Amino acid sequence: MFPIVEAEFLAPDVKRLVVEAPRVARKRKAGQFVILRLHDRGERIPLTIADSDPGRGTITIIVQGVGKTTKLLNMLGTGDAILDLVGPLGTPSHVERFGTVVVIGGGLGAAIAYPTAKAMKEAGNHVVAIVGARNKELVILEEEIAAISDELLIATDDGSYGRRGFVTDVLRDRMESGGPIDLVLAIGPPRMMQAVAETTRPRGIKTVVSLNSLMVDGTGMCGGCRVLTNAGARFACVDGPEFDAHEVDFETLVRRNRTYLKDEADSLRRFLEHPEAELEKVRESCRLEQRHPEARCEAGRS
């Protein structure tokens, strides 16, 4: 069981959770993620580790409520706990002194990109951060990113903050008018990452993306997260999640991520009818675990 020690909303539906997980906090490196499960009948979902504090034994995750499990997770607060949490998973970001590194975060991608941007800065790179959001209200971690970047460029779809347009518009401007770029790291929705890849490809700028394929175990045993690259099928959970953007087959990624769209919608609709009942399941699972830590609670088949 993994107690939540801090919880706050950063934007509508986007919550920052600080969770006690001492082993994960000790080992975690930028670019890695955890898989968690909220209750006995819950699913396993992957979430990037946004930060960690080994001294305090905590990790930070940032969650956008898009479906049942993430919306349920966003109902949890201080005093609640997460039943299962495993990590750190995935291969850490490759961090070294490249020179000028552009880190692009679209939407929640800003939270996922932040730890790697920070590590790039600490490795002595000139870090250019490009943050994209639909509108001003949805821009997250602005202060944190400003603190670890040399240039911070913001784009909103509606122009309510920063430049009006997409992150690729900002990137193109920066490529044309700024100094040379040695590496681009893009994290966000697959179509955004694909657009970034196509923007940098003609110039041959090395571009890395963090892929968000569906996962179950996160340890390489099932291949549910497989992505197609020029080198064949790769498992995002162990070989990634970061890959060379110019080698990724984004069409397959987008298509495979749509496998359970209908199930996901059904699950969300049922959840929204009785969200409190699901919250109670989380708390009951954790109470059982507390009372009988030796015996995992059992969810019988119905």
Partner 1 sequence: MNTDANDFAPQPRPSKKDRMKIPRQPMPEQDPARRRTNFEEVNQGLTILGAATEALRCLECGDPKCTHGCPVGVKVKDFVDLIAVGDFLGAAAKIREDNILPAITGRVCPQETQCEGCCILGNKFEPLGIGYLERFVADYERETGRIGLPAIAPPTGKKVAIVGSGPAGLSAAGDLVRMGHAVTVFEALHEIGGVLVYGIPEFRLPKAIVRHEVDAMRAMGVDFQTNVVIGRTATIDDLMAEEGYDAVFVATGAGLPKFLGAPGEHLNGVYSANEFLTRVNLMRADAFPESDEPVYDCRGRDVAVVGGGNTAMDAVRTACRLGARTSYLVYRRSEAEMPARAEELKHAKEEGVTVMALTNPVEFLGDADGFVNAMRCVRMELGEPDASGRRSPVVVPGSEFETSIQMAVIALGTSANPLVQSTTPDLATTRKGYIAADPETLRTSKRGVFAGGDIVTGGATVILAMGAGRKAAASIHEYLETGAWEAKEAEIPSPAGRG
Sequence-ordered strand ranges (E) for the chain: 2-11, 14-20, 33-37, 45-53, 58-64, 81-82, 84-89, 100-106, 126-133, 151-156, 163-164, 183-187, 207-210, 226-229, 232-235, 242-244
**φ, ψ dihedrals at 115, nearest 5°:** -60, -35
Choose between 191 and 258: whose C-beta lies nearer to partner 1. 258
Min CB(166)–partner 1 separation in Å: 26
Phi-psi region of 32 (alpha: psi -120 to 50; beta: other; left: phi over 0): beta
Phi-psi region of 162 (alpha: psi -120 to 50; beta: other; left: phi over 0): left
Contact 110, 189 (CB under 8 A): no
Min CB(267)–partner 1 separation in Å: 5
Min CB(302)–partner 1 separation in Å: 6
Residue identified by tokens 């694909």 is: 194
Min CB(284)–partner 1 separation in Å: 15
Choose between 68 and 174: whose C-beta lies nearer to partner 1. 68
Residues near partner 1, by CB under 8 A = 23-24, 27, 37, 41-44, 68-69, 83-89, 216-217, 219-224, 226, 228, 233, 238, 252, 255-256, 258-260, 263-264, 266-267, 270, 294-296, 298-302
Give CA–CA dist 8/116, Å, rounded: 22
Min CB(59)–partner 1 separation in Å: 12
Choose between 152 and 238: whose C-beta lies nearer to partner 1. 238
Choose between 180 and 301: whose C-beta lies nearer to partner 1. 301
Choose between 153 and 253: whose C-beta lies nearer to partner 1. 253
